[in-house]
Amino acid sequence: MSHSTVPDPGLARVAVYLPEATLGNAELVERFGFEREFLDKKIGVLSRHIAAADEAVSDMAVAASERLFAAAPEAREKIELVVLCTQNPDYRLPTTANIVQHRLGLAQTVAAFDINQGCSGYVVGLSVTRAMMMAHGFRNALLLTADGYSKVMDPSDRMTVPLFGDGAAATLLSDEGHGKLGQFTFGSDGSGADDLIVRGGGSRNPEQPVSGAGALYMNGRAILKFMIKRVPADVDRCLVANNLTRDDVDVYVFHQASAHMVRSLIKEMRLRPEKVPLCIADAGNTVSSTLPIVLDDIGGIEGLAGKTVLLCGFGVGLSWGSTVMRVESA
């Protein structure tokens, strides 16, 4: 099917799943000796959700999908593509998306695959999903983001434990979706790979356990410096690509790295705070799911009718990406 005959897909619906168990700040104060105000205000996370010991990425992705299908039951039989963004798949192989396809009872004619990306994963996933839909004439697709960083964190690490939470989100893209995507911009700087890394368990260190020195490591200062250097420039590049100015944007949806990081972006870019939602308090940094969690929190796609939304993800890689969503009125 030629591109000219394929309707431009848009975001139709978003659903979120967060595990039942939570880790609150009172426990972190006791464990690490933090000042409560530091956790509540600077990091901005009051509690983070933690996947159960037997709860894998596929479980969270399926739960988010089922919540989406509960709100739009007709969508299940229409899905033609499943893209799952995660850095913690159930197994080295097979692809977790295939497991999810089967558990959701989707047709065996569905294309399904994983992409390995972190904090910029939602933007990357939107671009890949939209491109696949337009290239192959797919009218309905499911973009899933799911990660369980608690599985790869050292519980004694005072840098990562307060920040990250587990969770998943499901986004329905459809030719009938009202959230129309514009041009995308991307960036990558692998020289900063060591600033946010899990060294254990991969082909470089296959025998190293994902614990201790092999667990999740983050250089917080380096990540903050990277964000301030790269994100404002990429946002402006994206706006130029979409023939927009900063003032034309109604809502800026940034990756929810921490409250301090989001507020630093507001200050650096001289944005109006009311245009920049902060939705980290009850979920933490859920990696590739932070952007759809924000979208869900502020009313979903239908709640943004008539608005221009800037989506920007950044982090592990180091990588970053931005796009614009113009939400048509129903």
Backbone phi, then psi, for 149, in 5-degree steps? -65, -20
Q: What is the pLDDT of residue 3?
A: 43
Beta-carbon count within 10 A of 260 CB? 15
Active site residue: 119, 238, 279, 312, which one? 119
Where does a domain end: 177, 211, 240? 177
In this structure, are 23 and 162 located in the same domain? yes
Q: Which helix (H) or strand (E) holds 98?
A: helix 96-103
Angle at 56 between CA 50 and CA 58, to 5 degrees: 125
Decide if 279 is catalytic. Answer: no
User: Which pair of structure tokens corresponds to residue 133?
Assistant: 């839909």
- Number of domain units in the chain: 2
Residue 292 dihedral angles phi and psi, to the nearest 5°: -65, -30
| Boundary of a domain, candidates 120, 145, 177 | 177
Tell which of 114, 144, 177 closes a domain.
177
Give me the helix-helix angle, 220-241 and 259-269, nearest 10°: 50
Q: Does the bond joining 81 to the residue before it have cis omega, within 30 degrees of 0?
A: no
Residue 179 DSSP symbol: E
Can you give the CATH number for the domain in which 235 is found?
3.40.47.10
Catalytic residue, from 178, 242, 255, 279: name it: 255
Which of 178, 279, 285, 312 is catalytic? The answer is 285
Nearest to 13 by CA among 81, 71, 61: 71
**Residues 42/260, Cβ–Cβ less than 8 Å:** yes
- pLDDT (0 to 100) of residue 222: 96
Please choose, from the candidates 147, 133, 148, 141, the residue with its C-alpha nearest in 3D space to the C-alpha of residue 171.
141
Do residue 48 and residue 166 come from a single domain? yes
DSSP 281: T
Residues 205 and 253 in one domain: yes
For residue range 199-208, what is the model confidence (pLDDT) as tens digits?
999 999 988 8
pTM passes above 0.85: yes
DSSP tag of 316: T
Q: Please indicate whether residue 178 is annotated as part of the active site.
A: no
- Kindly state the helix (H) or strand (E) to which residue 168 belongs, with its residue range: strand 167-174
What per-residue confidence (pLDDT) applies to 240? 98
Residue 238 belongs to domain spanning: 182-327
> What is the C-alpha separation between 50 and 303, in angstroms, rounded?
28
Confidence (pLDDT) at 102: 98
287: tokens are 């990696």
Q: Which residues, 6 or more positions from 311, have their beta carbon under 8 angstroms from its beta carbon?
A: 122, 123, 126, 253, 291, 322, 323, 324, 325
Residue 303 and residue 190 in one domain? yes
- Residuewise pLDDT in 10s, the chain (330 residues): 444 456 799 999 999 999 999 999 999 999 999 999 999 999 999 999 999 999 999 999 999 999 999 999 999 999 999 999 999 999 999 999 999 999 999 999 999 999 999 999 999 999 999 999 999 999 999 999 999 999 999 999 999 999 999 999 999 999 999 999 999 999 999 999 999 999 999 999 988 888 888 999 999 999 999 999 999 999 999 999 999 999 999 999 999 999 999 999 999 999 999 999 999 999 999 999 999 999 999 999 999 999 999 999 999 999 999 999 999 987
- Shared domain for 121 and 198, answered yes or no, is no
Please tell me whether residues 84 and 127 are part of one structural domain.
Answer: yes
Residues 149 and 237 in one domain: no
Question: Which sign does the torsion angle of CA 89, 94, 95, 96 carry?
Answer: negative
Residue pLDDT, tens place only, 174-195: 999 999 999 999 999 999 999 9
Per-residue pLDDT at 329: 86
Q: What pLDDT, on a 0 to 100 scale, did the predictor assign at position 210?
A: 87
Instruction: Write down how long the chain is.
Output: 330
Task: Verify that 34 and 110 share a domain, yes or no.
Answer: yes
Query: Domain check: are 148 and 216 in the same one?
Result: no
Whether residues 159 and 51 share a domain: the answer is: yes
> Are 121 and 256 found together in one domain?
no
Catalytic site includes residue 285: yes
Cα-flanking dihedrals φ and ψ of residue 41, to 5°? -100, -55
Cα four-point dihedral sign 264, 269, 275, 276: negative
